[in-house]
Amino acid sequence: MHGYEIRKSLFSITKRLTTRRSVLPKWHRTMASQLPVKFDIKTSYKLNSDYSIPVLGYGVYQTPADVCEEVTLHAFKAGYRHVDSARAYRNERPCADAMAKSGLKREDIFFTSKVPPKAMGYDNTKNAIESSFAETGLSYIDLYLIHSPYGGKEARLGSWKALVEAQKAGKIRSIGVSNYGVHHLDELEDYIKSSKDGSHIDVGQWEIHPWLPRDDIVEWSQKRNIAIEAYCPIVRGERANEEILKTLGKKHGKTWAQILLRWSLQKGYVPLPKSVTPPRIDQNADIYDFELDAGDMKSLHFPDSYAPCAWDPTTSHD
């Protein structure tokens, strides 16, 4: 265990025993299915778990371990309080090292990891969770997701069972899924109802942007107050030259990426931009001093578009 975690472990244990409410001021929290009146860098959504998730995350997908600590520290300095990692990214440790060196309180940082697609099933997921703790030295993890629905029904449900057990043990505060299609979500909901384990899906993570709106998944999730995280929110730069983004950028004095991130916020999502370039990390957090009006939002409404820039496991039927 890191010295940082030793200093904070007593507080964390006491907090788990006495309350499950967020330490964030209540005026910065809102339910995941409701939009706040105004966004700022401290805005968060209240999850089904009764914990809170910051509305802006810093993604570290494909961030090399040897630079991950440095850029994550920069993200903290820029105001981010939410880091999205995964076992498959192989950078959990430098993320945790950055947390320890940030000077921030542990309870003020939201850290996510995920079950690797090749580690599905009850036993494999239990091992993955323990490996995350061994790698990070953390006393608890804020959010653990099933990274993809691959592996078949038995493996999916076994992984969920392992997450539920870890949550009930206080190791993980919130749990959820990533890249699940509606049929996967229905399957999991049926299991939760039949098993009567008292669990809830707290968070779902998908590639979501104007050219991949996923309205069916969004509707399913919002009806259940599931917070929706959007990875690839700036479409890996592939849409930088879209005329509509140029027009909106000029109108608001913002970059095309900031327009897309603001769109994501106003849709009620939790965008997870990633960058290893400090100026871009800063720019991606500078999205609270303007607002897209109804016409702007309508101009980015492409309900029939299906244009993923990454993988799409939502379509799998194994």
Q: Beta partners for 230?
A: 206, 271
CA dist., res. 147 & res. 88, Å (int): 9
Query: Of 31, 64, 51, 57, nearest to 230 (Cα)?
Result: 57
pLDDT tens, per residue, the chain with 318 residues: 444 444 344 334 333 333 333 333 333 457 776 788 789 999 999 999 999 999 999 999 999 999 999 999 999 999 999 999 999 999 999 999 999 999 999 999 999 999 999 999 999 999 999 999 999 999 999 999 999 999 999 999 999 999 999 999 999 999 999 999 999 999 999 999 999 999 999 999 999 999 999 999 999 999 999 999 999 999 999 999 999 999 999 999 999 999 999 999 999 999 999 999 999 999 999 999 999 999 999 999 999 999 999 999 999 999
Backbone angles phi, psi at 51, to 5 degrees: -90, 175
In CATH, what number is assigned to the domain containing residue 26?
A: 3.20.20.100
Residue 11: per-residue pLDDT: 37
pTM score, whole prediction: 0.90
Residue 218: per-residue pLDDT: 98
Residue 254: per-residue pLDDT: 98
Cβ atoms of 60 and 274 closer than 8 Å:
yes
Among the listed residues 147, 184, 200, 209, the single catalytic one is 147
3-state DSSP percent of the chain in helix, strand and coil, to 5: 45, 15, 40
Tell me the CA distances in angstroms from 180 to 104, 196, 204, 207, 276, one per residue in order. Answer: 33, 21, 8, 11, 28
CA dist., res. 272 & res. 229, Å (int): 7
CA dist., res. 240 & res. 225, Å (int): 32
Residue 237, number of CB atoms within 10 A of its CB: 11
- The verdict on whether 180 is a catalytic residue reads no
CA dist., res. 87 & res. 114, Å (int): 6
Residue 29: per-residue pLDDT: 59
pLDDT per residue over 158-168, tens digit each?
999 999 999 99
Among the listed residues 4, 89, 144, 180, the single catalytic one is 89
Residue 225: which domain range?
Answer: 3-315
Count the domains in the chain: 1
Residue 52: per-residue pLDDT: 98
- The verdict on whether 2 is a catalytic residue reads no
pLDDT per residue over 113-141, tens digit each?
999 999 999 999 999 999 999 999 999 99
